[in-house]
Structure formats: structure tokens, C-alpha cells
Chains A and B, each alone.
Chain A
């Protein structure tokens, strides 16, 4: 049962804060996420050669888990979440993922029993629903995909997530051609339709197994845009277009919670502050502590309303200070300690604002995602919450309005290239119909012709 959000969880933006969600989530071994404290969430990737066999992979994750848990108790961290993002072997062979989850959870239970450290294990299943040439969202691989969730849930995973790929084929084509309608169709319409299907099924599996259907991220699309946009001097994509894609992605990633997920949303979902404003679910975020994986332009800002604070991903290997997982989980834990101290001292809103303001005017992406503006995007989505297309379009339009206001204030300074790109996106959006059926029909006709790998049957169309 998909129940769309048509109102905001918070009465005003100022009510949103890190370590606190309107609807906290209990998970794993004594952990409650969003219940008044922030928790580090460590993410990692095995070394390249570890994927050669199931045994090698399980041993690699045992080393990772032991290293991380040991470092947490060595520095006195009260809580931690470990996130295992499946390598393809673990989702294509659900028993591999299950074996890894079991091995990790066994170690975490030992640490919990001995030290009392609160902890939970998130498994993020790989979206394996494709073959060489096409997405195969509803094809043969769907059963294996769901089996991977089921087996992980049965074998120790406390939080289930995925970075689902619906709409990516149209998005990939469109983002490289500044095609606003295609970006909106790929993320806001196709992505949302696929998420409603996938998350209804994940939520049912989670319920059956007594674990948490956590949440998704538009990594496949909005993060692709952010990654291509790159730094201030990169010339691959206007950052004003990247943030419009991000605003649309909030309408899309929200679908997980409408289909039964309860949070915490995935770390790389930079759209999560918007989603938290509408849904009140706890969220994971990443920023300055994910520089091991990629650069962004809002390293502090993203901490503003997080409940889990993540490093995105780091390859497991040695560093001067220990293994990478030890170094990065320690950094995460100290950031959480800072946030939790500010909460105890009654200074959390000041810290939140300092974090947000340190990046707010750096780039249009951070500007729109600053919690005050993110809340406005949330309102635009909730206004037409029952219509996937309209709410995604609303988010994009409101995003353009917010950036324009920032430019007018003199505080958000953009190049002519970026302001021109913004003007084009806004004009494109204004020219689009408000009729969802017409938009769907127009896009189907167009993208069936233009995008060779687009298969409408992936979306039941």
C-alpha cells in the first residue's frame, strides 16, 4: 500500500536538527536512530581481489568488521552502524550476501555483548536488475534481487537498503544533453514508479523478518549529475542543472517511505534533508568525511540534520593510523561526539547553522540543500504529493526560484554560464504541461524513439 505524503512532518524548518527525527527508528542491538543522538555509519569496499571467491569475500568483511568495532570501543564511541554495500557477487548470489551478513553480525554481537556498544548492520543490496544491454527491472532478475534482501534479513542485516536504478537509462541520455523534460521523466516519473514497486516488496520482506526497511538514494541519477558537475572549475555540467536534478530526486526517493520504509535514508542521498522535512524519518548523510570516496561542495552543510553520519565508502587497506575503516570510523565518531555534545549543551541549533552557513553560499547545490531552503522544496513536493510528476516538477521550479533569490541577494555568486543554464531549465519547466497523463504520453513517444535502451515494459507501460 503506497500512501503519498501531502503535508510536512515539521511545522517549520527550524524544528529540524541533527540526531533528532520526528519518527526515530529502533534497529539492531540497542540502537535507536534519530532519538536524540547522532551515530557514525561506516561504509567500506573490499579490496579488488577479495571478490574472487565467497570465502575470500567473507573473510575480508570479517576483517573489516572486527577492525571497525575494535576501534569504536578503543575510543569509547557509544554507537555505530556498519553499512555493507553489496558488490555484485553478493546480490547475484544471495547466499554470498547472507554469509557476509551472518559473519558481520556475529562479530557485532560479540562486541555488543562484551562492551554494550549499540550497533546495527545495514546491507545495501545491489540493484542487479539488468543485463548486458538493457535495464531488466521486472524481468528474471527481480526474484534474485528480492531473494538477496530476504536472505540478508534472515542472516543478520538490521537495515535494508538499495540504490535503485529506475529511470537511469532516460536520465543518462538526458543529463548529457541538458534535456530538462528527460531529467524530470527519468528521475521524477520512471524512478518514482519503479521505487513504488520495489519498496512495497522490500517493506514486506522487512516486516516478515522483523528488520527495518531503511531507505533509498538517487545515487544512480542525482549523484551522477553531482559527480559530473564536479568542482567549481570543472566544465562538464552546470551546477544549477545538477541541483535541479537533486530537487527532483527528493520527490523520487520519498517514494520509499510512502511504500513502507521508515528510514534511515541512505547516506549518499543528498536529497535527504528535503525528505526528512516531509516525512520525519531519520536520515544518513555524508560530507567532509566522504572525501575518501568523492568530492562535493557541501562537506559541512550535509551534517545539519543527519541522524547517521557516514563516509560514503572507502577501500579496505592499510594507512598510517590503522586500516582505512578504522581511520574513517574514528573521524565519523568524533564528528558525532561534537554533535552530541552540542545537543547536551543546548547549542545544537547554533552548530547546525554554522555547519550549514559554512557551505551555503559556496555553490547552488549547497544553497538549495541548506535546511531552510530544503524545507521549501519539501513544501513544493507535498503541495501536490499525490502526483509523482507534478510534485517533481514543483520541486524543480521551486529549486530554480530559490537559486534566483540567492543570486538576487548577492550572496550566491554564479558564473554567467550557470545563470544561463538556470534560465534555460526554468524556461523548459515553464513550458511543460501540468497534465501528468499528457507528459507521460509525450515522453513515452519521444524517448522510445531517442533512447535506444529505453524499454517501457520495465515500468509496466
Chain B
């Protein structure tokens, strides 16, 4: 096989990610972000490390020291997950780390719930689904995990969800946001049907859509559509709604990048 000389490669391609990699390791960056409270620190660190058992051990110690289990959700678990989210947004850690941290955090929340009769207050409710006829759900699973990790209550309808079931759930659950994902061009047409049926019922709410074949042009064709290019956009859209309201035009200005 012919080959290139080492010195010739840079003229053909550039590894921008190597050139721009940050000096600080992910562990060092996380260390700078952990809360200093000696009861909270080990919980936040265990969230970052995705160690479910250690999270529960940390929670037990904090509760034994007098911390309120419900307060620990916001003050320890969400703070730890906040460290993870920030490192992910900054490009320091990758998605599998976030998923493992999310698993650990959700496990921690369930543990906290068993320690009290109080009910934690979510940041809002989001209904997630994969379009009717479409069984490709890894994208939706990422969306749901990231939303839960960010403190949202997720009603996960799963995959291949009939249009009417989506409408019924929205009517019943009254979410702040509906998300839909699809891989195929023919299944994503269901999004338009959902849009039309919601409007028929007088429901005007953001409907965030994304996935393989879905693009901004298609989503812009129906009134409630907001295009999410990345799974992590779902959290940003939900946060944006909490801060700025549900006006579709504003959401499109923020999230329609093309």
C-alpha cells in the first residue's frame, strides 16, 4: 500500500479536536465544581462517577447527620448532576458519562423518596414519544434521561406511539412540553397530525421534534413545531420555556439554527 509521510498529513486533514483539547482532565475540572460541604461533596462526586451505591451511601450519611431527604435532591443530587451537565456542555466529558450519572442520580432520588413522605417538586412535566410506526428509540431514551437528570418529570410513552395516544396523554398530563423523535421520513408525518389534532382541541404548546430524518424545514411546516438538532436541546428548550414562556416564535428564534 502507498503511504503518506508523517509531515504530509497535516496538509490533508486537521485534527481540530486534538489541537483544541483542554489541558485539564475531566476529574480535575469536576473537582473544581463540586460543592465544598463535607456531606454534599461525596454525593456530588459519586454522581459524577456514576457510582449508584456510593450515591446512596452518601445520602444515608447526610440523612443520618440531619439533612432533609427532599432537600438533598436539590442540594446534593441535582448539584452533582449540574456538575456533570456543565462538563458535558463544555465538551469535557462525553454522553455515556452523563447517562451513567443520570442513572446514579435517579437511583438517588428514588432512595430519597423512600426516606420521607414529602414529594419532590419537579421543574416541569414533559411528555416524550417516538412517532407512530417508528421503533428507533435510542434518541428518545437519551432525551428522556437528560430531561430527568435536569429535574423534569418525564412521561415516557415509548416508541411507535399512536397519534391519538399522544393527544390523550397531553390532555391528561398537561405537560409544559411535548417531544417527538423519528428516524424515518414516512413516520415523521405523524408529527403534523399530532400538531393538527392539538390545535383542533385548542391546545397551543411547544412540540419539540428531532431525530434521523427530521429537519428544521419539516418541523417549521406545522405551527407548534420546534426543531431540536441534538438530544441535549430538549433540556435547553424546557429551561427556555421555564424562563421565557411557551411562545413558539421565540423558541424558534432561539433553537432554529439553519
Contact A132 B159 (CB under 8 A): yes
Contact B9 A411 (CB under 8 A): yes
**A281: chain B residues within 8 A (beta carbon):** none
How far, in angstroms, from A73 to B138 measured CA to CA in the complex?
Answer: 41
Contact B17 A361 (CB under 8 A): no
Q: Which of B95, B138, B158, B213 contacts A132 (CB 8 A)?
A: B158
Of the stretches A20-28, A144-152, A352-360, the one at the interface is A352-360
**B189: chain A residues within 8 A (beta carbon):** 48-49, 51-52
Of the stretches A74-82, A113-121, A196-204, A234-242, the one at the interface is A234-242
A290 to chain B, nearest CB (A): 13
> Given the interface contacts A176-B99, A232-B17, A417-B21, does A411 sit within 8 Å of B186 by beta carbon?
no
Whether A362 sits at the interface, judged by CB under 8 Å, is yes
Contact B99 A88 (CB under 8 A): no
Whether A430 sits at the interface, judged by CB under 8 Å, is no
Contact B2 A415 (CB under 8 A): no
**A178: chain B residues within 8 A (beta carbon):** 96, 100
Contact B18 A132 (CB under 8 A): no
Whether A342 sits at the interface, judged by CB under 8 Å, is no
**B93: chain A residues within 8 A (beta carbon):** 235
**B25: chain A residues within 8 A (beta carbon):** 416
Interface residue tally on B, bucketed by range: 35 or more
Contact B6 A411 (CB under 8 A): yes
Whether A87 sits at the interface, judged by CB under 8 Å, is yes
A373 and chain B: residue at smallest CB distance: B1
> Given the interface contacts A133-B158, A237-B95, A353-B2, does A361 sit within 8 Å of B13 by beta carbon?
yes
Whether B15 sits at the interface, judged by CB under 8 Å, is yes
How far, in angstroms, from A88 to B192 measured CA to CA in the complex?
Answer: 18
Contact A417 B6 (CB under 8 A): no
**B141: chain A residues within 8 A (beta carbon):** 172, 176
How far, in angstroms, from A151 to B18 measured CA to CA in the complex?
Answer: 52
Give per-residue flags for B185-211: 1 if the beta carbon is below 8 A from chain A beta carbons, else 0.
111110010000000000000000000
How far, in angstroms, from A49 to B222 measured CA to CA in the complex?
Answer: 14
How far, in angstroms, from A371 to B1 measured CA to CA in the complex?
Answer: 9
A87 and chain B: residue at smallest CB distance: B186
A325 to chain B, nearest CB (A): 14
Q: Which of B3, B16, B161 contacts A232 (CB 8 A)?
A: B16
**A284: chain B residues within 8 A (beta carbon):** none
**A132: chain B residues within 8 A (beta carbon):** 158-161
Contact A13 B13 (CB under 8 A): no
B160 to chain A, nearest CB (A): 5
**B18: chain A residues within 8 A (beta carbon):** 413-415
How far, in angstroms, from A372 to B2 measured CA to CA in the complex?
Answer: 11
Contact A45 B184 (CB under 8 A): yes
Whether A315 sits at the interface, judged by CB under 8 Å, is yes
Contact A48 B2 (CB under 8 A): no
B83 to chain A, nearest CB (A): 16
Contact A130 B21 (CB under 8 A): no
A403 to chain B, nearest CB (A): 14
Give per-residue flags for A210-246: 1 if the beta carbon is below 8 A from chain B beta carbons, else 0.
0000000000000010001000110111100000000
> Given the interface contacts A232-B15, A354-B2, A356-B1, does A361 sit within 8 Å of B21 by beta carbon?
no
Contact B99 A48 (CB under 8 A): no
Whether A207 sits at the interface, judged by CB under 8 Å, is no
B135 to chain A, nearest CB (A): 5
Give per-residue flags for A18-40: 1 if the beta carbon is below 8 A from chain B beta carbons, else 0.
00000000000000000000000
Contact B133 A237 (CB under 8 A): no
> Given the interface contacts A236-B94, A417-B21, does A88 sit within 8 Å of B187 by beta carbon?
yes
**A237: chain B residues within 8 A (beta carbon):** 94-96
B23 to chain A, nearest CB (A): 10
How far, in angstroms, from A416 to B28 measured CA to CA in the complex?
Answer: 14
Whether A449 sits at the interface, judged by CB under 8 Å, is no
**B138: chain A residues within 8 A (beta carbon):** 172, 176, 224, 228
Which residues of A approach B to under 8 Å, CB–CB? 13-14, 45-52, 87-89, 130-133, 172, 175-178, 224, 228, 232-233, 235-238, 315, 350, 353-354, 356-362, 370-372, 409-411, 413-417
Q: A228-B95, A371-B1, A413-B15 are in contact. List 10 more A-B contacts (CB 8 A).
A: A46-B185, A50-B186, A51-B187, A228-B138, A237-B96, A315-B185, A411-B4, A413-B18, A414-B15, A417-B21
- Report, nearest first, the 6 A-B pairs whose CB atoms are least far apart: A51-B186, A48-B189, A353-B2, A236-B95, A87-B186, A176-B99
Can you report 18 A-B residue pairs in the complex whose CB atoms are below 8 A from each other? A48-B185, A48-B189, A48-B218, A49-B189, A87-B185, A89-B186, A132-B158, A172-B138, A236-B95, A237-B96, A315-B213, A353-B2, A361-B4, A361-B13, A362-B13, A372-B1, A415-B18, A417-B94
